[in-house]
Structure 1
Amino acid sequence: MEAYLTLWWVWICIALALGVLELLAPGFIFLGFALGALAMAGLVLILLTIGIPALLALFAILSLVGWIILRFAFRHQSSGARIVTHDINDN
Structure 2
Amino acid sequence: MWTAWWLWMAGALVLAILEVLAPGFLFLGFAIGAAAIGAMLFTGGPAAAFLTGSLPWTLVIFAVLSVIAWVVLRRVVGVRKGQVKVIDRDVNDD
Normalised-by-shorter TM-score class: 0.7 to 0.9
- Show the counterpart of 1:23: 20
Can you list the C-alpha shifts for 1:39-85, whole angstroms capped at 9, x where unaligned?
Answer: 0101222214331111111100000011011011113558x786688
Find runs of 4+ consecutive structure 1 residues off by over 2 angstroms. Answer: 75-78, 80-85
Matched position secondary structure for 1:21: helix
- Tell me which of 76, 80, 87 is aligned to 1:73: 76
TM-score (norm 2): 0.72
2:54 maps to amino acid? G
Name whichever structure is richer in helix by fraction: 2
Between the aligned partners of 1:81 and 1:67, the Cα distance in structure 2 is: 20
1:22 maps to amino acid? E
- Show the counterpart of 1:57: 60
Between the aligned partners of 2:77 and 2:24, the Cα distance in structure 1 is: 11
Matched position secondary structure for 2:32: helix
Matched position secondary structure for 2:26: coil
TM-score (norm 1): 0.74
* Unaligned 5+ runs, structure 1: 86-91
- Show the counterpart of 1:88: none
Q: 1:51 to 1:82 in 2, by over 3 A?
A: closer
1:62 maps to amino acid? L
Larger CA Rg, structure 1 vs 2: 1
Q: 1:82 to 1:39 in 2, by over 3 A?
A: same
Q: 1:29 to 1:84 in 2, by over 3 A?
A: closer
* Unaligned 5+ runs, structure 2: 89-94
